[in-house]
Each structure stands twice: as C-alpha cells, then as structure tokens.
C-alpha cells in the first residue's frame, strides 16, 4: 500500500434530501467505497447518474457539492489523510496536489477574466511556480494540447474560443500547477463526437507525458476504455466491479457490467420507402430573424408512414432548426412542407387544429417540457380534451390505455413530475404526444439526457409503439449508435445542408463523403486501442494527401 498516491478507504458520503412536504432527511449516497491509485495510472469511474461517481471524484479534493458531505472513511493522498487536515489543509491541497477538470468548461471558466490568468492562478497562488514560469508552463501546455497560437491563446477571454478549445484549456488549467492527481469529471461529454476524439487524444497524451495520476469519470464505457488502466463500475453509491480495463471490457463478471458493455443491442430491420411519404420537405431555406445568414440551405427530405427518419449532425448543423421549420415555429424563407398529402402553412398561425394534432413533438429535456404543478393525469389528459373532447370516465379509460402503452401503471395518474425518474418523465412525454393520435412525431434528442440503459428502454418503447400505432418518427440526434438502432432512413446534416441522405444501409455503407466518414469514425468503440488506431489512421491519410 506504500506506493499508492491515492488511497480511499471505506468512503461514505451523505447529503440532506428535501422531499416535498416532508422534513429534511439525511441520506447516504456513497456507501463505503475503497480503491487505490498509483502514480502515473488512470482509474476510470463509470456508472449512471446517481451512481456517485462525481461525488467520489470530488471527495479526492475533500469537496462536497451543494449539501453533500463526507461522513466517513479516509482519503489518503501522498501519505496523509486529507480529511483530517481541516479547511486550511484542504485549501493547500486543492489546486496544488490535486486539481479538477469540470464537465462544462464553458461554465467553469470565469467569463470576466482572461484564460491565462485563470490557467496560472492556482500555480501562482500556491507558490508552485513564479508568475513568469507558470505562464511559460501554460504556453507549453497549450501547445501540447493542440491549441491554436499557444503563445497568445491565453490573452483571450473564454467566450472568444470554442467549446473544444475551452475543454483543452481546462485541462491545461488542471496540469499547470504540476499536480500529483487530476480528477477529470466527464471532460468530453458536452462536446460533439468529432471534437471529443481530439480532446480525448490530447488529454491522454498530456496524462502520459506528465506522469500524473488521474481519476477519469464518465458514463460512457467506450470513452473510458480508451484512457484508463483500471475501471471501477459504480451503481447507486456502491462498487459493482473493479478490475483492469481489459477485464471489464472483455470479460465482465457482474450482470450490471455486462449490461453496460452490451448496451445498444436493439435490432431493427430497415423498411423500404413507400410511394406516399407522410412528410415531404422540399427546398427549405431558413434563417433566424435579425441574422444575416441562412442556417438551412435547400433542405429536402421525405419521411414515410410508420418509419423513422434519423436527422444526424453536430451542434450547429441545423437539425433542431429543421424541426422548428416543420412545426411552424420558424417560417422558412423558401421551400415547401407537404404533410399527409396537403401543403402546410409555413407559419404556425395558419395551421388547422388537425395539422397540429397529427404532428406532435417530444423534447430532450422532459422535466422542463412538463408543468411541474400538474399531475401526470392532467398532462396526458390535456390533448385528450383538447383534440377529442374526452371527459370523465372515457378520458380516464383512455389515460389508463396510454399509461399501459408506455409501460407505466395507472397508479401514476395522480403523481407529479418531480416524483418520477428521468426515464419515466420521458415516457409521460411520449404518452402525451401519442394521446393526440398523431401521424408523425418529431423526437428532438429524446434520449440524450438519459443514462444508456434507460435510453435503451425508451428506444425499445418507441419502436414498439411505432409498430402498434403506425406513427412516423423524425428522430433528431447526434448519437450514431441510436441512429443505427432505430432508423429506416438517415439524413446527415452539416452546416445547414443535407450532405448525405438515403436508406440506413446506403448511408452507413462506404464509399463515404469526407464528413460522414469523419463523423462515423469518431464514434468511440468499445474496444481497447481504438483511439490510437483512429488517430494513426487519420495521420496516415493526411500524410498520404
């Protein structure tokens, strides 16, 4: 045990919960977790939300977010228990021996200060380096992390650089004081998949070159498989499995780990196009009011009855804008939308109630898409009254039917959204859309905010409902795995244009255009050494050109 730089023993973490209408309760969220980390090694902490992985990561800095408190156990760093040193000891530790890389670098940088000042602040504050040396270190790190113009990069403000660059700058911030341990908390989760791969490679190289130990927290097993030596699988504050990355990926022992490894096992056979599409979008060009450029350029796609069209692309590619145009929230500058054989009015005001009923929408954030003060029954009942005038017993009967369809019993009718889990909330939103008996539903990133296993359940449910109700889905997502699982046809969008469009098998088979190739090859695969393979392959290609 002598050479472990981080030694966590029987760590217990608690929080105060405030259930509505009840007195506050002390709850335990991490129940006695132990692990060790040697110098220069990377340990991946993986689990779904609520697993306690971030909480454990922050405990390595003696920090509890919100009302979270470390209630028991020991955290030994470099041979001393940091929980015994009081606040003064913790302040000496934080930013010097242990540093932290936050999930959203965009929010974690102070908007009022230049990057250089923030990156070097901890190193100077703790007298690790004098100012000039700290700045020289920062420039070296900027260069190592592949940031543009490393000499002058630090003179910029956070809003002047991109999200991927900020995430690298955050890594520079964590490495600048020459710490012994860095806690990476979902450092690439908020990034587009094509950006993620570069940042991931940069982080991995920086860890290797500086020889720090790292805790790498993520919910994405394929990502953590690329960077860590060991993996600890967590669930509801308990350790499920702990082993080498090779063993966890290739020979998982526990059922839960196996489920995580084999997630996205959905099989969906692609359906051939029909002669009469339910939705025909032709030549849509659109821009937002008051902006000088178009965000959609001549977009044309078809969606066939009872089928799924996946619209895939990075943030800013215009896929959500397309949904706004189809729903009538953003009237296009030119182009036409044909729906169920009739031409839709470009603006929402010109659409009939029938138009509205037959075209429903499900959103990414289920909890903000529902009124928190309405019960599930009221939320799902509203379209029943509005479109079909159902009341009393009949409405109740239909409610039960819908709740059955989303695999939630009628016991949920009187519950409030706050009493539901993330997956249940999204199911209620699905039921609300189905209540209108639509011909088509636009699903805007409906599984992005959910844990993989829960998301899987939602996708299965959607496919099932599609068969029963013969409803068509326009499925907006950035996740290729989801697309593979559910789509019949695919439209790949890039900078407001459809760059590739066709049946699933066509779009996902070579020969690829450059962008689709980049997109597909950037999706992390659950195998060791994938990252190196891709990077090496890309280097070779660019050398060949």
Partner 1 sequence: MAPALKLLVQRVALGLMLLFLVSALIFVGTQILPGDVAQSILGQSATPEALANLRQELGLNEPALTRYFDWLFNALQGDFGTALTNGQDIAHSVGNRLKNTLFLAFWAAVIAVPLAIFLGLLAVRFRDRWPDKLISTVTLASISIPEFLIGYLIMYFVAVKLRWFPSVAMINDGMSLGEKLSSIAMPVMVLTLVVLAHMMRMTRAAILNVMQSAYIETAELKGLNRFQVIYRHAFPNSIAPIVNVVMLNLAYLVVGVVVVEVVFVYPGMGQYLVDHVSKRDVPVVQACGLIFAAVYIGLNMVADVVSILTNPRLRHPK
Nearer Cβ to partner 1 (160/352) = 160
C-alpha–C-alpha distance, residues 442 and 320, integer Å: 10
Nearer Cβ to partner 1 (63/386) = 63
CB of 105 to partner 1, least distance (A): 9
CB of 57 to partner 1, least distance (A): 11
Tokens in use for 129? 């380096």
- Among 54, 55, 99, 245, the residue binding partner 1 under the rule CB under 8 A is 99
Count how many residues are written for the chain.
Answer: 545
Residues of span 280-299 touching partner 1 by CB under 8 A: none
Tokens in use for 532? 């190196």
Closest CA to 379 of 413, 354, 410: 413
Of 31-39, 88-96, 239-247, 522-530, which segment contacts partner 1 by CB under 8 A? 88-96
| Cis upstream peptide for 231 (omega within 30°) | no
CB of 93 to partner 1, least distance (A): 7
Parallel, antiparallel, or unpaired: how do β-strands 334-339 and 279-286 relate? antiparallel
Residues sharing a CB contact under 8 Å with residue 397, sequence separation 6 or more, in sequence order:
none
Nearer Cβ to partner 1 (93/141) = 93
- Among 93, 147, 193, 312, the residue binding partner 1 under the rule CB under 8 A is 93
Instruction: Assess 121 for contact with partner 1 (CB under 8 A).
Output: yes
Nearer Cβ to partner 1 (156/400) = 156
Instruction: Assess 274 for contact with partner 1 (CB under 8 A).
Output: no
Of 32-40, 100-108, 144-152, 456-464, which segment contacts partner 1 by CB under 8 A? 100-108
CB of 95 to partner 1, least distance (A): 4
- The answer to whether residues 439 and 450 touch, using CB atoms and an 8 Å cutoff, is no
CB of 303 to partner 1, least distance (A): 37
Of 2-10, 89-97, 293-301, 382-390, which segment contacts partner 1 by CB under 8 A? 89-97
Instruction: Assess 316 for contact with partner 1 (CB under 8 A).
Output: no
Closest CA to 310 of 160, 171, 435, 492: 492
**H helices of 6-110, where?**
53-59, 86-93, 105-108
Instruction: Assess 413 for contact with partner 1 (CB under 8 A).
Output: no
Residues sharing a CB contact under 8 Å with residue 454, sequence separation 6 or more, in sequence order:
48, 421, 422, 423
- The answer to whether residues 375 and 416 touch, using CB atoms and an 8 Å cutoff, is yes
Residue 255, SS3 per DSSP: helix
Of 87-95, 349-357, 360-368, 492-500, which segment contacts partner 1 by CB under 8 A? 87-95
- Among 2, 111, 409, 544, the residue binding partner 1 under the rule CB under 8 A is 111
- Among 46, 68, 70, 108, the residue binding partner 1 under the rule CB under 8 A is 108
Instruction: Assess 184 for contact with partner 1 (CB under 8 A).
Output: no
C-alpha–C-alpha distance, residues 439 and 339, integer Å: 9
Nearer Cβ to partner 1 (91/297) = 91
Parallel, antiparallel, or unpaired: how do β-strands 230-235 and 42-46 relate? parallel
Torsion of CA 82, 87, 88, 90, to 10 degrees: 40
Binding mask 3-42 for partner 1 (x = CB under 8 A): ----------------------------------------
C-alpha–C-alpha distance, residues 125 and 426, integer Å: 46
Nearer Cβ to partner 1 (173/520) = 173
- The answer to whether residues 264 and 79 touch, using CB atoms and an 8 Å cutoff, is no
C-alpha–C-alpha distance, residues 52 and 161, integer Å: 32
Of 58-66, 231-239, 450-458, 476-484, which segment contacts partner 1 by CB under 8 A? 58-66
Instruction: Assess 90 for contact with partner 1 (CB under 8 A).
Output: yes
Instruction: Assess 102 for contact with partner 1 (CB under 8 A).
Output: yes
Nearer Cβ to partner 1 (108/138) = 108
- The answer to whether residues 301 and 318 touch, using CB atoms and an 8 Å cutoff, is no
CB of 63 to partner 1, least distance (A): 6
Q: Is the dihedral of CA 43, 49, 51, 55 positive or negative?
A: positive
Of 14-22, 121-129, 446-454, 468-476, which segment contacts partner 1 by CB under 8 A? 121-129
Instruction: Assess 122 for contact with partner 1 (CB under 8 A).
Output: yes
Residues sharing a CB contact under 8 Å with residue 160, sequence separation 6 or more, in sequence order:
none
Instruction: Assess 109 for contact with partner 1 (CB under 8 A).
Output: yes
CB of 174 to partner 1, least distance (A): 9
Number of Cβ within 10 Å of residue 92's Cβ equals: 13
Q: Is 536 left (phi over 0), alpha (psi -120 to 50) or beta?
A: alpha
Q: Which 8-state DSSP code applies to residue 368?
A: T
Binding mask 139-178 for partner 1 (x = CB under 8 A): -----------------xx-xx------------x-----
Instruction: Assess 91 for contact with partner 1 (CB under 8 A).
Output: yes
Look-up: residue for tokens 């934080």? 94
- Alpha carbon 101 to its chain centroid, in Å, reads 17
- Among 126, 297, 460, 495, the residue binding partner 1 under the rule CB under 8 A is 126
Instruction: Assess 61 for contact with partner 1 (CB under 8 A).
Output: yes
C-alpha–C-alpha distance, residues 71 and 49, integer Å: 21
Instruction: Assess 54 for contact with partner 1 (CB under 8 A).
Output: no
Number of Cβ within 10 Å of residue 495's Cβ equals: 14
Tokens in use for 496? 């407001």
Residue 253, SS3 per DSSP: coil
- Among 80, 113, 258, 527, the residue binding partner 1 under the rule CB under 8 A is 113
Tell me which residues touch partner 1 (CB under 8 A): 61, 63, 65, 90-96, 99-100, 102, 104, 107-113, 118, 121-122, 125-126, 156-157, 159-160, 173
């Amino acid at each position: 045990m002598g050479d472990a730089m981080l030694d966590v023993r029987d760590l217990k973490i608690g929080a105060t919960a405030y259930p509505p209408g009840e007195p506050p309760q002390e709850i335990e969220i991490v129940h006695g977790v132990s692990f060790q980390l040697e110098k220069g090694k990377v340990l991946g902490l993986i689990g779904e939300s609520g697993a306690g992985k971030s909480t454990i990561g922050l405990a390595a800095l003696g920090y509890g977010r919100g009302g979270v408190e470390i209630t028991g156990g020991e955290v030994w760093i470099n041979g001393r228990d940091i929980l015994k040193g009081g606040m003064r000891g913790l302040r000496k530790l934080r930013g010097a021996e242990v540093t932290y890389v936050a999930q959203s670098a965009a929010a974690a940088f102070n908007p009022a200060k230049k990057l250089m000042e923030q990156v070097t602040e901890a190193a100077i504050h703790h007298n690790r380096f004098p100012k000039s040396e700290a700045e020289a270190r920062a420039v070296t790190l900027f260069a190592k992390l592949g940031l543009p113009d490393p000499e002058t990069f630090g003179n910029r403000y956070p809003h002047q650089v991109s999200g991927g660059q900020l995430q690298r700058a955050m890594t520079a911030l964590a490495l600048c004081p020459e710490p012994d341990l860095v806690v990476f908390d979902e450092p690439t989760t908020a990034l587009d998949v094509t950006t993620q791969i570069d940042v991931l490679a940069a982080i991995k190289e920086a860890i290797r070159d500086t020889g720090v130990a790292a805790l790498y927290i993520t919910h994405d097993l394929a990502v953590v498989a690329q960077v860590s030596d060991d993996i600890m699988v967590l669930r509801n504050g308990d350790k499920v499995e702990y082993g080498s990355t090779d063993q966890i990926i290739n020979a998982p022992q526990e059922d839960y780990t196996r489920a995580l490894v084999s997630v996205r096992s959905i099989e969906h056979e692609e359906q051939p196009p029909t002669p009469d599409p339910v939705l025909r979008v032709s030549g849509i060009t659109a821009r937002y009011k008051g902006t000088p450029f178009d965000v959609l350029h001549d977009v044309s796609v078809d969606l066939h009855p009872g089928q799924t069209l996946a619209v895939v692309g990075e943030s800013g590619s215009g896929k959500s804008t397309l949904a706004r145009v189809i729903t009538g929230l953003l009237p296009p500058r030119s182009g036409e939308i044909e729906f169920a054989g009739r031409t839709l009015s470009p603006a929402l005001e010109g659409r009939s109630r029938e138009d509205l009923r037959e075209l429903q929408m499900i959103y990414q954030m289920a909890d903000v898409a529902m009124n928190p003060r309405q019960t599930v029954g009221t939320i799902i009942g509203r379209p029943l009254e509005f479109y079909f005038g159902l009341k009393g017993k009949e409405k109740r009967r239909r409610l039960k039917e819908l709740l059955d369809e989303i695999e939630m019993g009628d016991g949920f009718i009187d519950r409030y959204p706050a009493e539901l889990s993330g997956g249940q909330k999204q199911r209620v939103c699905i039921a609300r859309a189905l209540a209108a008996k639509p011909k088509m539903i636009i699903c805007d990133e409906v599984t992005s905010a959910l844990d993989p296993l829960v998301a899987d359940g939602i996708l299965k449910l959607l496919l099932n409902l599609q068969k029963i109700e013969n409803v068509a889905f326009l499925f907006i997502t950035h996740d290729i795995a989801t697309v593979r699982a559910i789509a019949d046809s695919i439209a790949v969008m890039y900078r407001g244009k459809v760059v590739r469009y066709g049946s699933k098998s066509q779009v996902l088979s070579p020969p690829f255009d450059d962008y689709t190739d980049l997109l597909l090859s950037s999706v992390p695969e659950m195998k060791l050494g994938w990252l190196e393979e891709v990077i090496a392959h890309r280097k070779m290609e660019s050398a060949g050109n």
